[in-house]
Structure 1
Amino acid sequence: MLNEELIKHFYTSFKNGDAEGMILCYDSNIVFSDPVFGELKGTEAKNMWRMLIASSKGNLKIDFENVIVDNKAGSANWVAEYDFSKTGRKVINHIHAQFEFQNGKIIRHTDEFDLWKWSRQALGWKGYVLGWTPFMKIGIRKMARRNLLKYTQNNKASI
């Protein structure tokens, strides 16, 4: 698969709620990072997508555009619309993704977005008041990591 097709397949699978289709685009040693989870490697990164798709329960809208690639790297802009599971609040998150490729797979995936804006949407007034602070950023990461660990432990037989 060409690198442009790889990114398009990744996001089309995401749009369709197909975590396994997304994961097929990743190298086994994938390194993923974003402001919420921090750095995740290998199976941990793959399980993050499985968890996010499962927890959305079909209430996730994904759009992507501006796919730009060359032989080694690429980028895309994407938007996720969903209800944050902990609060039920509507989130519309605008994300810039960067990719690195090797042997027809994604080896590095970095998502960048405004965590304070995300926290205001997801957490309401608490996110507005505290979302920019290191304390809140650490708390958000701990919660996300805890949820990923719990998901992984509860789904070991199917992963």
Structure 2
Amino acid sequence: MNIQISDIGHVIQLAIAPVFLLTGVATKLTVLTNRLARIIDRTRVLEDRLRLRSSAEDTSELETLYVRAHLINTAITSSTACGLMVCLVIALLFLGDTTNIPLDQYIAGLFVCAMIGLISSFVYFLREIFIASRFMRMQHMLSLQQPRQPAPTE
């Protein structure tokens, strides 16, 4: 097992693209967790409000938030699995080169699985955005239908 510096340099060059992908996945995970945190905060507010008084609007919004949270959780799981597989691709690149074990099929398979995870994460993220946008439009339409309260005079 005689590893040449040029061999390690070549493997590092091969690993650069998956490292950039890993950076993108990490950034995406940050966005997803921030959205989940906002959903959780809004859910807590609505649950507290529902304890005081029951409202059909609050119940409807709470159900929508539960669906959105589920979709974001699934997107986070898919992104995390993608990140894990990209890390394994990088590790196998180095392992295969240093041990001369033919791991090319495993590396290709892991990369394809990582892409499937990334694609599914984007699909779930997009579904969550569509639901959030649709609910926001519905709330806006309802607010336009309700009569406006006159401003209090001083």
Q: Which has the larger radius of gyration?
A: 2
TM-score by length of 2: 0.25
The one of the two structures with greater contact order (alpha-carbon pairs below 8 A, sep at least 6) is 2
**Larger strand proportion, structure 1 or 2?**
1
**Larger helix proportion, structure 1 or 2?**
2
